[in-house]
Structure 1
Amino acid sequence: MEIAVMAGQLILGLSILVGLHELGHLLAAKMFGMRVEQYFIGFPPKIWSIRRGETEYGLGAIPLGGFVKISGMIDESLDTRQMQSEPKPWEFRSKPAWQRLIVMLGGIIINIITGIIIFIALTYKNGETYLSAQDARYGIVAYDLAQQIGLKTGDKIVKINGKEFRDFNDIRSSEVFLGTNSSYTVERNGQLIDIEIPNDFIDKLSDKKSAGQFIEPIQPFRVGELAPGMPAEKSGLQKGDIITAVNGRPTPFYHEFQAAIRANTNKPVTLTVRRGNQPVTIRTSVTDKGQIGIGVESLLRQTHVEYTFGEAVAKGTERAFGVVYDNIKGFGKIFRGDVSASKALSGPIGIAQNLFGGVWLWDRFWFVTGLLSMALAFMNALPIPALDGGHSTLLLYEIVSGRKPSDRFLEAAQRVGMVILLGLMAFAIFNDVFKAVF
Structure 2
Amino acid sequence: MDIVIKLTQFLLSLSLLIVLHELGHFIPAKLFKTRVEKFYLFFDVKFSLFKKKIGETTYGIGWLPLGGYVKIAGMIDESMDTEQMKQEPQPWEFRSKPAWQRLIIMLGGVTVNFILAFVIYIGMTYFYGDKYIANSELKDGVWVVSEPLEQAGMQSGDKIISIDGHSLDRFNEANAELITAKELVVDRNGEQKTIQLPVDFVDQLMKNKTEGGLVIPRIPVIVSAIDETSPNFETLQVKDFIKQLNGQEIKYADEFKSALEAYKGQTVDAVIVRDNKEQNVQLKVDAEGKLNMAFAMGVNLNDAEKLGLFKLNTDHYTLAESIPVGLQLGVDKLVGYGKQLKMIASPETGAYKGVGGFKAIFDIFPQTWSWEAFWSITALLSIMLGVMNLLPIPALDGGHVMFLLYEMISGRKPSDKFMEYAQTIGFVLLIALLLFANGNDIYKSIVGK
Give 1:391's match in structure 2, choosing from 395, 400, 414: 400
Give the partner amino acid of 1:335. A
Deviations 1:35-84 (A, max 9, x none): 11111101123101122111111111122310101111111011111111
How do 1:319-358 and structure 2 match up within 5 A?
A: 319-353=329-363, 355-358=364-367
1:119 deviates by 0.8
How do 1:119-138 and structure 2 match up within 5 A?
A: 119-138=121-140
Change (3 A) 1:338 1:311: farther
Give SS of 1:77's match: coil
1:413 deviates by 0.8
Change (3 A) 1:152 1:30: same
Give SS of 1:416's match: helix
The answer as to whether partners of 1:382 and 1:389 remain within 8 angstroms in 2 is: yes
1:346 deviates by 1.2
1:210 deviates by 4.6
Give yes or no for the alignment of 1:420 onto 2:423: no
Give the partner amino acid of 2:53. R
What does residue 60 of structure 1 align with? 62
What does residue 113 of structure 1 align with? 115
Residues of 2 paired with 1:292 and 1:140: CA distance?
20
1:257 deviates by 5.2
Give SS of 1:67's match: strand
Residues of 1 paired with 2:129 and 2:10: CA distance?
25
Give the partner amino acid of 1:398. E
1:337 deviates by 3.0
Change (3 A) 1:268 1:304: farther
What is the RMSD computed on CA atoms of the aligned residues?
Answer: 3.5
Residues of 2 paired with 1:58 and 1:282: CA distance?
67
Question: Which moves more between the two structures, 334-343 or 134-143?
Answer: 334-343
Deviations 1:180-200 (A, max 9, x none): 4x2213223x33222222333
What does residue 161 of structure 2 align with? 158
The answer as to whether partners of 2:222 and 2:295 remain within 8 angstroms in 1 is: no
1:256 deviates by 4.3
What does residue 371 of structure 1 align with? 380
Deviations 1:331-372 (A, max 9, x none): 22233334225423111111221x213333221111010000
Give the partner amino acid of 1:154. G
Give yes or no for the alignment of 1:278 onto 2:287: no
Change (3 A) 1:162 1:100: closer
Give the partner amino acid of 1:5. I
Give the partner amino acid of 2:376. F
What does residue 185 of structure 1 align with? 186
What does residue 254 of structure 1 align with? 253
What does residue 10 of structure 2 align with? 10
The answer as to whether partners of 2:15 and 2:41 remain within 8 angstroms in 1 is: yes
Residues of 2 paired with 1:59 and 1:392: CA distance?
27
The answer as to whether partners of 2:175 and 2:213 remain within 8 angstroms in 1 is: no
How do 1:193-342 and structure 2 match up within 5 A?
A: 193-207=193-207, 209-210=209-210, 212=212, 214-220=214-220, 237=237, 242-245=241-244, 251-256=250-255, 272-280=271-279, 291-292=293-294, 296=299, 297-298=303-304, 299-342=309-352
Change (3 A) 1:148 1:314: same
How do 1:53-92 and structure 2 match up within 5 A?
A: 53-92=55-94
Gaps of 5+ in 1: none
Residues of 2 paired with 1:164 and 1:370: CA distance?
26
Give the partner amino acid of 2:29. A
Change (3 A) 1:147 1:292: closer
Deviations 1:199-234 (A, max 9, x none): 33223223353564632222236678x89x999999
The answer as to whether partners of 1:14 and 1:64 remain within 8 angstroms in 2 is: no
Residues of 1 paired with 2:67 and 2:200: CA distance?
33
Give SS of 1:383's match: coil
Residues of 2 paired with 1:262 and 1:302: CA distance?
34
Question: Which moves more between the two structures, 423-432 or 122-131?
Answer: 122-131
Deviations 1:238-293 (A, max 9, x none): 66x5443579875432334567899999x99998542444335789999x995458
Give SS of 1:134's match: helix
What does residue 145 of structure 1 align with? 148
Change (3 A) 1:403 1:277: closer
Give 1:362's match in structure 2, choosing from 365, 368, 371: 371
Give SS of 2:345's match: helix
The answer as to whether partners of 1:162 and 1:185 remain within 8 angstroms in 2 is: no
What does residue 439 of structure 2 align with? 430
Residues of 1 paired with 2:256 and 2:22: CA distance?
52
Residues of 2 paired with 1:230 and 1:49: CA distance?
59
Q: Percent identity?
A: 39
Residues of 1 paired with 2:328 and 2:292: CA distance?
42
The answer as to whether partners of 1:132 and 1:303 remain within 8 angstroms in 2 is: yes
Give the partner amino acid of 1:128. D
Give SS of 1:78's match: coil
Give the partner amino acid of 1:129. K
What does residue 34 of structure 2 align with? 34
The answer as to whether partners of 1:129 and 1:304 remain within 8 angstroms in 2 is: yes
Residues of 1 paired with 2:120 and 2:149: CA distance?
34
Change (3 A) 1:238 1:141: closer
Deviations 1:354-396 (A, max 9, x none): x213333221111010000011101101110000010111111
1:31 deviates by 0.6
Question: Which moves more between the two structures, 126-135 or 365-374?
Answer: 126-135
The answer as to whether partners of 2:206 and 2:354 remain within 8 angstroms in 1 is: yes
Change (3 A) 1:316 1:268: farther
Give SS of 2:360's match: helix
